[in-house]
Amino acid sequence: MATNAAPVVLLTAFEPFGGAERNPSWDAVQAVAEAWDGPGTVVVEQLPVVFAEVRAALVAAITEHRPDLVIATGVAEGRDAVTPERVAVNVDDARIPDNSGAQPIDEPIDQRGPDGFLTTLPIKRIVRAATEAGVSASVSNTAGTFTCNHAFYELMSIAANESFRAGFVHVPATPESATSDVPTLPLADIVTALEVAVRESLDPAADAVLVGGAEH
């Protein structure tokens, strides 16, 4: 899709939801864009926490920016590490309503779509580089079944017909954003990990062969 001499990186994050006043994924991508010194440019877009609006928001952002790389992000309260996601699954099963009040349960995202999509980000290299930078990171094998997984699935569906690399990274709550007694990471650590994710993903090399699986 993109033919940019200097790469354009699109980072997306979500608006607050579930009673929270802020979303650390949005705080983090804004900080990455502000501090980015190349290669290329980083642009950011905020996605609505509304199942029915996510795909249109992604299409609009991709059409506007014509990116070479898209990394979607969202918060996973309860996790204690930055977690690049391996797979998006074709199901919405919302534990809580989205910001429009919708609460789909056991509904396919795309009636005609595949059961899932694998990320095209080098998630093992991202985890290794983030860990080497001093940030807790690990591969995740489930992005949940709320709007984060929905956005991940829709993004990979779009990317399947385009030429850009794409995927999703979950971030923990920050001390400032946590709405309950959950593990947190400083915003600066999350920003570092996302910067690492961008740099590793702009490198076209194959992913590292490292253990990232789980028994359950």
DSSP characters over 172-191: PBPTTT-SSS--B--HHHHH
Residue 143 within any structural domain of the chain: yes
In the predicted model, is pLDDT for residue 212 greater than 90? no
The answer to whether the beta carbons of residues 174 and 190 sit under 8 Å apart is: yes
pLDDT of residue 3: 47
In the predicted model, is pLDDT for residue 215 greater than 80? no
Name the burial class of residue 67, with classes exposed (0-12), middle (13-18) and buried (19+) by CB atoms within 10 angstroms of its CB: buried
Residue 212 within any structural domain of the chain: no
pLDDT of residue 110: 99
The domain tally of the chain equals 1
In the predicted model, is pLDDT for residue 213 greater than 60? yes
Structure confidence by residue, pLDDT tens digits, 193-206: 999 999 999 999 99
Residue 57 within any structural domain of the chain: yes
Residue 23 within any structural domain of the chain: yes
Residue 3 within any structural domain of the chain: no
In the predicted model, is pLDDT for residue 10 greater than 90? yes
Structure confidence by residue, pLDDT tens digits, 161-172: 999 999 999 999
Of 118-122, 174-178, 195-199, where does mean pLDDT reach its minimum? 174-178
Give phi and psi for 179, each to the nearest 5. -100, 0
Q: What is the domain extent for residue 106?
A: 8-202
pLDDT averaged over every residue in the chain: 96
In the predicted model, is pLDDT for residue 128 greater than 60? yes
At 102, the pLDDT band (50, 70, 90 cuts) reads very high
Among residues 85, 154, 195, 200, the one annotated as catalytic is 85
CATH code of the domain covering residue 160? 3.40.630.20
pLDDT of residue 4: 53
Among residues 65, 148, 154, 200, the one annotated as catalytic is 148
pLDDT of residue 1: 43
pLDDT of residue 214: 83
Residue 182 within any structural domain of the chain: yes
Q: What is the distance between the alpha carbons of residues 172 and 73, in angstroms, rounded to a whole number?
A: 11
Q: Average the pLDDT over 10-33 and give the result.
A: 97
Structure confidence by residue, pLDDT tens digits, 30-71: 999 999 999 999 999 999 999 999 999 999 999 999 999 999
Q: Is 64 a catalytic residue?
A: no
Q: Average the pLDDT over 115-139 and give the result.
A: 98
Q: Please tell me whether residue 81 adopts helix, strand or coil conformation.
A: coil
In the predicted model, is pLDDT for residue 25 greater than 60? yes
> Burial letters for 158-194: b for 16+ Cβ neighbours within 10 Å, e otherwise?
bbeeeebbbbbbbbbbbeebbeeeeebbebebbbbbb
Q: Is 170 a catalytic residue?
A: yes
Residue 167 within any structural domain of the chain: yes
Residue 166 within any structural domain of the chain: yes
Q: Letter for the amino acid at 10?
A: L
Percent of the chain scored above 70 by pLDDT? 98
